[in-house]
Amino acid sequence: MRTSQGDPEPLDHEPPPDLRRSQEQRLLTAWATPKGWRYWSEVNNTHVGLWYTATAFLFFLFGGVLALLIRIQLARPGNDFLSAETYNQVFTVHGSVMMFLFAIPIFEAIAVIFLPQMLGARDLPFPRLSAFGYWCFLIGGLFLCGSIFFDAAPRGGWFMYPPLTSQYQPGIGADIWLLGFSFIEIAAIAAAVELIIGTLQCRPPGMRINLIPLYCWYVLVAAAMVLFAFPPLIAGSMLMEIERAFQWPFFNPAGGGDPLLWQHLFWLFGHPEVYIIFLPSVALIAMIVPTCARRPIVGYGWIVLAAVGTGFLSFGLWVHHMFTTGLPGISIGLFSAASQAVAIPTGVQIFCFIATLAAGRSVRSVPMLFTFGGLATFVAGGLTGVMVALAPFDFQAHDTYFVVGHLHYVLIGGALFPIFAGIYYFYPLVNGKKLSDTLGRIAFWITFTGFNVTFLPMHLTGLLGMPRRIFTYPAGLGFDTWNLVSSIGAFGIAAGVAIIVWDVLRPKRKEAQSERNPWGAGTLEWLQEMPSKPWGVRSIPEIDSRYPLWDQPNFVRDVDQGRFYLPDADEQKRETIVTTAIDAQPVQVLQLPGPSFVTLCAALTIGGFFIFGTYHQWGLAVMSAIAAVGVICYWLWTGTAIIPSRAEKDVGLGLKLPLYVSGSTSVGWWAIFITMLADLTALLSLVFGYFFYWTIHENFPPDPTPGPGVFWPCLGAALALGGWALTVLARRWNRQARAAPFYSALVAGAACAVGGGAALIAGPWFTGLDPKTHVYPAIVWLLMIWTALHIGIGVIMQFYCLARRLAGRMTPACDMDITNVALYWHFVAITVIIAVAVVAGFPLVK
Amino acid sequence: MKSLSEKNESLWLMIVSPALWAAHLMLSYITAAVWCAKFAGPDGTLRPVRWAITAYTALALIGIGMNGWSGLCRHRFGSGRLPHDSDTPEDRRRFLGFATLLLSGLSAISVLFGAIVVFYFEDCR
């Protein structure tokens, strides 16, 4: 290990005991967890992450029970344990719960708990955003799961293909899926923003980009993938819900729509999602393997290649789910090639893990057992994946149980077993006790055996021709025995999982506290004291190595004695250090918001919009949305961009850092930027829809074009761009302390923006486009409403900034609000230009 | 030392090559889809598309090659060797260069994988 000259060293003397005690007392006060019912207002990552993880596991168990019902029904031919109708609900909810309520949230949940600890940060940069995400997840998840008890659950499969779901399934099942999951997906995007900024800007000083734990690379990639994978599904869900509720024919061929558009949008999300699930799970392996091999990982750079490369390539695979839809052979060939290429980075990381274990002195442990089981299973699933990536084989295996077997090998091997490994590995960090080695081994062998007994035969039943999604089958087709074997195996998995659950929940009061860093790991999360303290890390260290606990002398002592940065909370506020993205140079002390119920209120009111919308109670839904806007404004007003009482703070080791930063150095600016990238992706998904319709129709846009014409959209664009320009000027004039021009620009900008939004709506309105008659007016209306809605939100932001300045909560020096709003308006300007170019420009050049 | 400043580094350079792969895939797909749907018909020839994909491939490989070369130069900066795990700006530069180089290699292979279609498909069926 070589370190940079001039790197700060920890204090060379131990701080006096009295000082240390008083520092610890202040830290405890700042990070104290609320008592009683107020506990649920907590926003600290440790608590929120634990709720998140526990809730995701409850949903996992619920999905598992549904899986057992499926296997009971299929255990013998002609079974009537479940009716066809109930079976459809059960398998739809099983798939949806496992994907949306377990696999993705568990990644975010685990990251919320451990990411700050791996980075030596006291918390993530937006603790309330984490809590908000959790409450959205809980409300949306309960809504979806509860529906099955009222015989109202979705029943179109977890992929919800139209026209089955858009035209042939009345009732609210499909609406619950579409709106419930859109709600949860918004929360997932919020968590992704949190994790990206946490990884890039909340690292400890000195933890350069070549030193960050591999887990963080994986989380960074997976969170970035969420930003680009979820918006197409949100856009698709919006199209289908509008079709179901208002009969705009996006997927109905009678009105010019096409069900294949849904498949494109769904799988643009659905395939990357497999890797969004896989990468953070394999990230756990990347932390466990070096510890158990007692050496640094072999091929750190290669694993970074694997994570980033897989993240990219996974977006080029979606069409391999659509090989049998009649696409031209060349399109199939392109995506088949990409599907094979993704095996390269996937394999690279597995070779790195094997090399690390081979080069080290491997220690036998339960986490390693689950790691080996997971890798072996995933490799098997990956190989069958390469088989179905070959189009001729896929034509034969498509929609058979072969695919069911394949996907469970990938997901259980690639995600579930590594997560179980992670549970056994990280459990001491959660409650200070280790789980039982004996129970862990028993659980592993039962689960692993049960898994293979369940899913290996499915490849055979599939090759014998058994289709997916059937609620029963006739005897004598060769399916009987293999289905019975699969059903027996399923109960084996359940027994193994039950042992793990028991091991986690069994009382452990009489057991000794785990020693500190029980596995002898080298990364920062194992700094944690046993039992843990609420502050996370006693002082934020200067990092010189990928494995500081192994390499940096006296490291734990120096951290514990407060010899590094920020050993105190002199204002008794929650604080952490913000650093630069490449070299982790400290740039700010970020004062974090404390416990609050505002996050729960925001989730309830936004959830109200989606839940009332499900029942088509649009009046209540709109009222709930208005209430949500009010709650969010209150949240922002009271909890963000607070002007500190002093400009700088001494964080120790001779370093003073500002308490308030705006612009591209601030975490808030990046949060807006990243969120708006996701938002722009959703717009591009809608534009993709527009051009998709162009390719399938001889006459799209219709000739002569019935609307919206050129005048209204161009007028709307000109006014909206005026609103944008005035907002940018307002930012400048605020910095120059020119109050009158600032206020004038904002008021004029808002007026322009309102006029612009109205003009955009006026286009289709005055040209009489009826969105129910054909998909052309429908998509034009939607693009205009989408754009106008963004302008409307921008107007609220303009008035918010105006009020902040009037109230003295924003000044020329402390201008985070207007800086971030100007950034938002840059994206609005891009949205306006794209939308108007499409609806007004394309008909002219067609 | 000025050239080793953090300001002269960018994470975006790492993803230039994968982005070029993505652009190659999407352009090839869109070109084929639009050509077959709007111009050639279901049985029409793919000849122009094959030439277009060949051109996209050449451009993508040139871009990836340039990005990969810049990665190689940074990877070889000074006298450092793998695993580039020292807490120094030199090793940070070498690491980012190495990651860029590896991602360029993967992207080039993936582009070539995709380009194979020009040898196998002659019409829009």
What tens digit of pLDDT does each residue of A332-390 get?
A: 999 999 999 999 999 999 999 999 999 999 888 999 999 999 999 999 999 999 999 99
Residue A547: closest CA among chain B residues belongs to which residue? Answer: B85
Q: Which residues of chain B have pLDDT under 50?
A: 1
Interchain pair A341, B110: CB under 8 A: yes
Confidence of residue A495 (pLDDT cuts 50, 70, 90): very high
Tell me the C-alpha distance between A36 and A404, whole Å. 46
Q: Name every chain B residue with its beta carbon within 8 A of the beta carbon of A546.
A: 85
**Encoded tokens for A256:** 């010019």
pLDDT at B7: 80
Pick A331's closest partner by Cβ from B6, B33, B120: B33
For residue B58, the distance in angstroms to the closest alpha carbon of chain A comes to 16
Pick B121's closest partner by Cβ from A211, A329, A338: A329
Residue with tokens 């106008």: A788
Interchain pair A582, B120: CB under 8 A: no
Rounded to two decimals, the pTM is 0.95
Residue B101: closest CA among chain A residues belongs to which residue? Answer: A305
Interchain pair B99, A313: CB under 8 A: no
**Encoded tokens for A414:** 């690639």
Pick A2's closest partner by Cβ from B19, B82, B86: B86
Residue B29: closest CA among chain A residues belongs to which residue? Answer: A331
Mutation target among A208, A228, A699 for the B interface, most CBs of B within 10 A: A208
Give the residue among A839, A718, A719, A709 at the shortest CA–CA distance from A784: A839
Residue B118: closest CA among chain A residues belongs to which residue? Answer: A330
Tell me the C-alpha distance between A520 and A515, whole Å. 10
Tell me the C-alpha distance between A627 and A313, whole Å. 41
CB A299 within 8 A of CB A355: yes
For residue B73, the distance in angstroms to the closest alpha carbon of chain A comes to 16
CB A517 within 8 A of CB A418: no
Q: Write the secondary structure of A148-210 as one string of H (helix), E (strand) and C (coil).
A: HHHCCCCCCCCCCCCCHHHHCCCCCHHHHHHHHHHHHHHHHHHHHHHHHHHHHHCCCCCCCCC
Pick B121's closest partner by Cβ from A333, A341, A345: A333
Q: Which residues contact A415 (CB under 8 A, 6 or more apart)?
A: A103, A277, A278, A281
For residue B35, the distance in angstroms to the closest alpha carbon of chain A comes to 9
Give the pLDDT confidence of A68-108 residue by residue, as tens digits: 999 999 999 999 999 999 999 999 999 999 999 999 999 99
H or E, element range at A36: none
Interchain pair A344, B106: CB under 8 A: yes
Residue with tokens 């008909």: A843
Mutation target among A320, A334, A674 for the B interface, most CBs of B within 10 A: A334
Interchain pair A334, B15: CB under 8 A: no
H or E, element range at A656: strand A655-658
Identity of residue A741: P
pLDDT at A707: 85
Residue B119: closest CA among chain A residues belongs to which residue? Answer: A330
Please state, in angstroms and as integers, the Cα–Cα distance from residue A586 to each residue in A547, A583, A823, following that order. Answer: 20, 9, 24
Residue B49: closest CA among chain A residues belongs to which residue? Answer: A330
Pick A581's closest partner by Cβ from B11, B25, B49: B11
For residue A584, the distance in angstroms to the closest alpha carbon of chain B comes to 9
Interchain pair A309, B103: CB under 8 A: yes
Query: Is residue A4 pLDDT above 70, yes or no?
Result: no
Please state, in angstroms and as integers, the Cα–Cα distance from residue A760 to each residue in A238, A451, A835, A837, following that order. Answer: 20, 56, 10, 12
Pick B114's closest partner by Cβ from A304, A338, A546: A338
Residue A342: closest CA among chain B residues belongs to which residue? Answer: B110
Q: Name every chain A residue with its beta carbon within 8 A of the beta carbon of B88.
A: 2-4
CB A431 within 8 A of CB A508: yes
Query: Is residue A736 pLDDT above 90, yes or no?
Result: yes
Q: Name every chain B residue with its beta carbon within 8 A of the beta carbon of A209.
A: 11, 92, 95-96
Residue with tokens 């975010």: A108
Mean pLDDT of chain A: 94
Give the pLDDT confidence of A587-634 residue by residue, as tens digits: 999 999 999 999 999 999 999 999 999 998 999 999 999 999 999 999
Residue A311: closest CA among chain B residues belongs to which residue? Answer: B18
Bond from prior residue into B83 cis (ω within 30 degrees of 0): yes
Please report the number of interchain residue pairs, chain A to chain B, with beta-carbon separation below 8 angstroms: 150
Tell me the C-alpha distance between A631 and A640, whole Å. 13
**Encoded tokens for A823:** 């950034």
Tell me the C-alpha distance between A302 and B99, whole Å. 7
**Encoded tokens for B14:** 């790492």
pLDDT at A586: 95
Mutation target among A203, A210, A227, A587 for the B interface, most CBs of B within 10 A: A210
Confidence of residue A293 (pLDDT cuts 50, 70, 90): very high
pLDDT at A530: 86
Interchain pair A315, B124: CB under 8 A: no
List of long-range contacts for A150-158, beta carbons under 8 Å, 24+ apart: A151/A86, A151/A89, A152/A176, A153/A89, A153/A92, A153/A93, A154/A89, A154/A92, A154/A93, A154/A96, A155/A85, A155/A88, A155/A89, A155/A92, A156/A88, A156/A92, A157/A91, A157/A92, A157/A95, A157/A469, A158/A92, A158/A95, A158/A96, A158/A99
Query: Is residue A804 pLDDT above 60, yes or no?
Result: yes
pLDDT at A30: 95
Q: Name every chain A residue with its beta carbon within 8 A of the beta carbon of B114.
A: 334, 337-338, 341
Q: Name every chain B residue with its beta carbon within 8 A of the beta carbon of A329.
A: 120-121, 124-125
Residue B90: closest CA among chain A residues belongs to which residue? Answer: A4
Q: Name every chain B residue with its beta carbon within 8 A of the beta carbon of A543.
A: 87
Q: HSE on the CB side for A141, CA within 13 Å?
A: 28
Pick A334's closest partner by Cβ from B29, B87, B95: B29
Angle (CA) A211 A217 A218, round 5°:
150
Interchain pair A330, B91: CB under 8 A: no
For residue A456, the distance in angstroms to the closest alpha carbon of chain B comes to 31
**Encoded tokens for A600:** 């729960």
Tell me the C-alpha distance between A401 and A382, whole Å. 16
Residue A335: closest CA among chain B residues belongs to which residue? Answer: B114
3-class SS of residue A3: strand
Give the pLDDT confidence of A497-535 residue by residue, as tens digits: 999 999 999 999 888 899 999 999 999 999 998 888 888
Query: Is residue A116 pLDDT above 70, yes or no?
Result: yes
pLDDT at A5: 65
